[in-house]
Amino acid sequence: MRLVVDLNKCQGYAQCAFLAPDVFAMHGEESLIYNPHADEEQRERLARAVAACPVQAITADGLDRTDGSAAGPPQEASDGR
């Protein structure tokens, strides 16, 4: 799983550091530091941290996988036509 934080977007609300402290931490009052290659055991906490970011500055590749296998291509919804 790979994390990316848009540090230009991040406003330092620290919700991620509160929800996943083993991955995210505040350095001082405004600078965020994080582990871009988080452990698989952190999946649930990371999902909460990504969802809690008020400015949506965090993206996580591979977060939607639950069985440990590679995620396949997105499926298109069928509209019945």
- For residue 17, the domain's CATH number is 3.30.70.20
Q: Please compute the mean of the pLDDT values over residues 18-35 and round it to a whole number.
A: 92
Residue 80 lies in a domain: no
Residue 68 lies in a domain: no
Backbone φ and ψ of 52, nearest 5°: -85, -15
Q: Which pLDDT belongs to residue 66?
A: 53
C-alpha to C-alpha distance for 36 and 67, rounded to whole angstroms: 21
Tokens of 66: 């639950």
- Number of domains forming the structure of the chain: 1
| pTM more than 0.85 | no
Nearest Cα residue to 7 out of 58, 62, 60: 58
Q: What residues pair up with 4 in beta bridges, in sequence order?
A: 59
Residue 78 lies in a domain: no
- For residue 74, pLDDT beyond 70: no
Q: Which pLDDT belongs to residue 1?
A: 82
C-alpha to C-alpha distance for 52 and 8, rounded to whole angstroms: 17
Q: Please compute the mean of the pLDDT values over residues 31-50 and round it to a whole number.
A: 93
Tokens of 5: 């934080």
Q: Which pLDDT belongs to residue 28?
A: 87
- Structural domain of residue 21, as residue ranges? 2-61
Choose between 31 and 74: higher pLDDT. 31
C-alpha to C-alpha distance for 16 and 77, rounded to whole angstroms: 32
